[in-house]
Amino acid sequence: MNASPPQPDRFRPSRSVLAIDRFMTRFIKVGGIGIIAAVLGMLVFIAAKVLPLFSGAELEPAATKETDSGSPPLALGIDEWGELPFVVSSDGVFRFYDGKGVTEKSVPLGGDGQATVVAASYDAVAGFAMLALSSGEALPVEVKYERPLGDDGQVGAVQVQIDAGEPIDLGLGTATVDLLAFSESEEARLIAATALDSGDAVLKVHRYTRKRSLLGEGKLTLSASDDLSHLLDGAPRHLLVNGKGDSVIIGTGSGEILYLFASGDDDFEIRQRFRPFPEAGLARADYLLGDSSLSLASTDGENRIYSLFRPGGEGQRVFGETKILPDLPSAATSFARSHRNRSFLLAAGDTLSLRHATSGDIRWEGGIEVEPNFLAISKKHDRIAALARGGDLLLLDLDDPHPEAGMRAFFGKIWYEDAPAPSYSWQSTGGSDEFEPKLSLIPLIHGTLKGTFYAMLFAFPVALLAAIYTSQFLHPDLKAVVKPVMEIMASLPSVVLGFLGALWLAPRIETHTVSIALVVVFVPLSAFLLGWGWSRLPRRKAERGTK
């Protein structure tokens, strides 16, 4: 029989097949390029969100105002929005500066108009100022800022009201107040004042408590007046009190710091005495947000952070050196702390330095137009007020949304407040505004690697044995179904599977955790025991079970 002649047309694809092939070639090419572009776009988006975490702060001059009132300034404050700063002068006048000019608000000083303000302190968190008068009294003044809504629903201009309370006798007699410090909270008030009486240093501390009732806020009542003069070795140069009203910090002229603490209603006692700068004097001593850390600056320009912690994790909390920050060009002359984080400002001459105590980084440093004698940071951490010795008030716009971030915060070992030693810690949120974020990525990286290792420890032998069984022993009909399904599962991203498991699978098995765990253990064990028992049966009985 003769073979039929070859028919090449039977191997020639039809036009429809060629058209589909061309379409799929272009479609796959476009799809591949689109996937690459999408991945690159995701990388660009992530980089745009991540890179600002490693950038520093930016300061821009906003306005300069003349504040020459004829009276020496004693304190500086600024509102939450940074629009209405004020200066307290020795004449007892609060001068508020806005775009329209100056608004003066006076408080009654008493003494037939002869009393003057000799010292002042302002707490922006509590919204209170405390004025020390030449009459030996202290005058509490509440500064109320608000921004009312207009009839059209728009936010109006910042308004302020000041209310002076009853004068408080500081118990200093005829001595003039040198230093004044106070703290104001919903539960308590603590006032500390120092003076020189016949050449001897005097320290008086007054503690007030407020008992609340079902009818609302209670009245402050004096709980104790303590004369701590016997604890002083010389004239104090720096005086601080904490927000809880249970401790007093005193910096002496010799550069030594005394930490006085009162447990409950007990008298104050010296809990700690230390010298932060053995070779220099103490230029500044200031509390940071939370009143658990001190920013200390020396007369040589050194800057160190001392925080409260329990040495060895036991005993009483005492101050210890936790950070050494870069030096200033000269001794610090003024300070301001942030009310949102551990950032703080130090000024030395016309050099202004914005620093972060947790990471120990300098966020911004440079020269400004004035030499600040007083500094203030708004509650929103976006406006700085600097009052010069000559009277000029400089306002600066601050842009520093992530001061707690950075390479050192993410990958370095940080000594956090109340911690006995530096550590890698992750705790991004807390229960109070004073919480210190802990943003080390090392615990997250370590946990990811550890979880991956243990997952692979169990998954690798199971997957390998399943692959060998499927390849060599599984029935061809079942293999034709199982193999494609496994390949499809391998192509799905693990993130997608985890997302489906968290949203769909986890709610269905959360009430059957014990039974599922027993299934994972007993099903393989039962199969093993069944196979072992089957192999021990007589051959005739074993073959009968397969028919």
Q: Report d(CA 372, CA 378) in Å as an integer.
A: 16
Mark residue 482 as left, alpha or beta (left: phi above 0; alpha: psi -120 to 50; beta: remaining).
alpha
pLDDT number for residue 427: 87
pLDDT category of residue 78 using cuts at 50, 70 and 90: very high
Please, is 211 exposed, middle or buried when counting C-beta atoms within 10 Å of its C-beta (0-12, 13-18, 19+)? Answer: exposed
pLDDT number for residue 286: 96
Which is more confidently placed, 286 or 483? 286
pLDDT number for residue 540: 76
pLDDT number for residue 12: 76
The closest of 415, 402, 414, 401 to 441, measured between CA atoms, is 414
> Mean of the per-residue pLDDT values for the chain?
87
The answer to whether the beta carbons of residues 358 and 342 sit under 8 Å apart is: yes
Residue 113, pLDDT > 90, answer no
Residue 544, pLDDT > 80, answer no
pLDDT number for residue 208: 87
Distances (CA, A) of 22 to 14, 17, 97, 121, 318: 13, 9, 74, 80, 77
Instruction: Lowest mean pLDDT of 32-46, 167-181, 393-407, 502-516, name the range.
Output: 502-516
pLDDT number for residue 112: 61
Residue 495, pLDDT > 90, answer no
Instruction: Lowest mean pLDDT of 318-332, 346-360, 470-484, name the range.
Output: 470-484
The closest of 89, 227, 96 to 159, measured between CA atoms, is 96
Per-residue model confidence as pLDDT tens digits over 9-50:
666 777 888 888 889 899 999 988 998 999 999 999 999 999
pLDDT number for residue 474: 86
pLDDT number for residue 374: 94
Residue 216, pLDDT > 70, answer no
Entry field: residues in the chain: 547
pLDDT number for residue 41: 94
Per-residue model confidence as pLDDT tens digits over 287-342:
999 999 999 999 999 999 999 999 988 889 999 999 999 999 999 999 999 999 99
Distances (CA, A) of 276 to 13, 72, 255, 295, 321: 89, 32, 8, 11, 8
Mean pLDDT of 349-375: 93
pLDDT category of residue 2 using cuts at 50, 70 and 90: low
pLDDT number for residue 67: 78
Per-residue model confidence as pLDDT tens digits over 230-278:
888 878 999 999 988 889 999 998 899 999 998 776 788 999 999 999 9
The answer to whether the beta carbons of residues 286 and 413 sit under 8 Å apart is: no
Query: Could you give the residue ranges of the DSSP H alpha helices within 390-431?
Result: 407-411
